[in-house]
Amino acid sequence: MGMEEATTRRGLLARFAAGVSTLLGAALSVPFLAALTSPARRGTAPTRASTGFLPVIQVWDLPKGVPKRVEVVADDVDAWARKERQVLGAVWLIKVSREEVKAYSTVCPHLGCSINAAPSGFSCPCHTSAFSPDGQVVGGPSPRSMDPLEVKVENDTVLVRYARFRQGQARREEI
C-alpha cells in the first residue's frame, strides 16, 4: 500500500466517521426537539373549553350602570384532563338595560394582570394603566383599550363568549 493510497483511505474513513457521527447526533435530537416544539404546532392538541356562549348570571342580579365582576364557569379540557365546571376566568359586566349588557375581559391588554374597577372606570394595579367606564384606555402603558367580549341576554340570562387575546400589542388578536 503506497503512502498516498493510505492517506486517501484514511481520509475517506475519517470523513465517513465524522459524517455518520454528526448524522447520528442529529437523529438522536429529533424526538426531543419534536416534543419541545410540539405546542407551537396548531391543531395537534384537543381544543380547550367551549368557544360558544356561556351563561354567567341572571340579568336582574346586575346593578344598572355599575361594573360587576362575574366568574365564567364551564367544562374545560386542560391537556389530557377533562374538568367539569371549572372557572375559566372572569368578565366585567355593565348593565345598560334589561336587554343590553356590555362585557369586557378582566385581563389587561398590557401584560395580563387583572383589571380592577376604579372610581373613574377601571384601572390595572400592576402598571397603572387606566381605562374609562366604557373600557377606553386613558392612561398608562396599555397598548389598547380593554378587550370587549361578545355578550347577549336571552330569557333574562346573560351569556358571554369567553375569549383570550394576545397581549402587548395595539391590534386585538384572539388566541
Partner 1 sequence: MGRLGDWLDQRTGHRGLVHAALHEPVRGGARWAYVFGSALVVLFALQALTGAGLALYYSPSATDAWASVHYIQHHVWLGWLTRGLHHYGASAMVIVAGLHLLQTLWFGAYRGPRELNWLTGLALLLLVLTFALTGYLLPWDQKGYWATQVATSIIGLAPGAGDSLQRIAQGGPAYGNLTLTRFYAAHVVLLPALAAALIGAHLWLFRKHGVTTPPWMREADGEARSEPFFPRQLAMDAAFAAVLVAVLAGLAARSHGTTLEAPADPSSQYLARPEWYFLPLFQLLKYFPGKWELVGAAVLPGLALAFVAGLPFLHRYWSTRRPRAARALAWAVTAGLVATAALGVQAERDDAADPSVAKLREQAEKDAALAERLASLGVPVTGPLDLYRNDPVVWGERVYLRQCQTCHHPCSNEPYKGDPCLEGYASRAWIAKLLRHPASKYFFGNSKIDEMDPYEGDEASLRALTEFLYAQGARPDASAALAAQGEALFESEGCGACHTLDGKGGGDAPDLKGYAGAAWLSAFIRAPGSERFYGKLNKMEAFDRHELDDDEVAAVVAFLRAQAAQPVKFP
CA-to-CA distance for 166 and 175, rounded, in angstroms? 6
Give me the least distance between CB of 106 and partner 1, in Å please. Answer: 25
Query: Does residue number 85 form part of the binding site for partner 1 (CB under 8 A)?
Result: no
Do residues 147 and 171 make contact, with C-beta atoms less than 8 angstroms apart? no
Strand ranges of the sheet holding 137-139, from the earlier edge strand across to the other edge: 116-118, 121-123, 130-131, 137-139
- Our CB check for partner 1 shows the closer of 8 and 128 to be 8
Query: Does residue number 119 form part of the binding site for partner 1 (CB under 8 A)?
Result: no
How distant, in Å, are the alpha carbons of 41, 48, 60, 80, 93 from that of 45?
9, 9, 39, 9, 32
Return the SS3 of 175: coil
- Our CB check for partner 1 shows the closer of 40 and 175 to be 40
Q: Which x/- pattern, by CB under 8 A, does the window 24-63 give for partner 1?
A: x--xxxxxx-xxxxx--x--xxx-----------------
Query: Does residue number 79 form part of the binding site for partner 1 (CB under 8 A)?
Result: yes
Interface with partner 1 by CB under 8 A: which residues?
Answer: 10, 13-14, 16-18, 20-21, 23-24, 27-32, 34-38, 41, 44-46, 77, 79-84
